[in-house]
Amino acid sequence: MTLYKASDIAKEFVQIAAKYGERLSHMKLQKLVYFAHGWHLGLTGKPLLDETIEAWQYGPVIRSLYDEYKRNGSQLLTPHALQNQPQSLPEAVKILIEKIWNLYGHFTAFQLSSLTHEEGSPWYQVTHFYKDLAKLPQGLDVPDEKIAAYFAQQKSIAHE
């Protein structure tokens, strides 16, 4: 089973957005990569990313992406802002990313964050015990098992 670096998936999203004349914020990019990972888990039962998802105040976060793009602050990302060119991804992964873009690309970063906060979502399942989301413990993992179950359920709802 091949796992991919979050940065390669992210760079593919940045390139797709540019193709449609759009630029992505760091926050929106985080959520799109999360949704790609989630749908991959829900559809195949296998993770897409080679790292875990963490629960932060504004939703699921991939720490390596945060570390890579935090210096950009609220600046919108363009293909020119990418540090390195992405590794070549298999066609099936590119198709998944394009589908995720078609499903979620029209949402704002805050709308995507709200989707990840919905009751029953994997993020909600690991955070609803905390009264103050600003004080979530650092490194609080959102287990792939929870993500897979949630997106598999979303898949079955979509087919009803």
User: What is the separation of C-alpha 40 from the centre of its chain, rounded to a whole number of angstroms?
Assistant: 11
User: Rounded to an integer, what distance in angstroms lies between the CA atom of residue 112 and that of residue 29?
Assistant: 10
Residue 125: what pLDDT?
Answer: 96
pLDDT, tens digit (0-9, with 9 covering 90-100), for 55-114 = 999 899 999 999 988 887 777 776 666 656 656 899 999 999 999 999 999 999 999 999
pLDDT, tens only, 26-61: 999 999 999 999 999 999 999 999 999 999 998 999
pTM comes to 0.92
Bridge partners, residue 59, by sequence: 56
Q: What is the mean pLDDT of residues 115-137?
A: 93
Burial 99-137 (b: 16+ CB within 10 A, else e): ebbeebbebebeebbebbbeeebbbbbbbeeeeeeeebe
Q: What is the pLDDT of residue 160?
A: 47
Residue 110: per-residue pLDDT: 94
Pairing of strands 59-61, 141-142: unpaired
For residue 143, CA distances in Å to 26, 47, 51, 112 come to: 22, 11, 11, 20
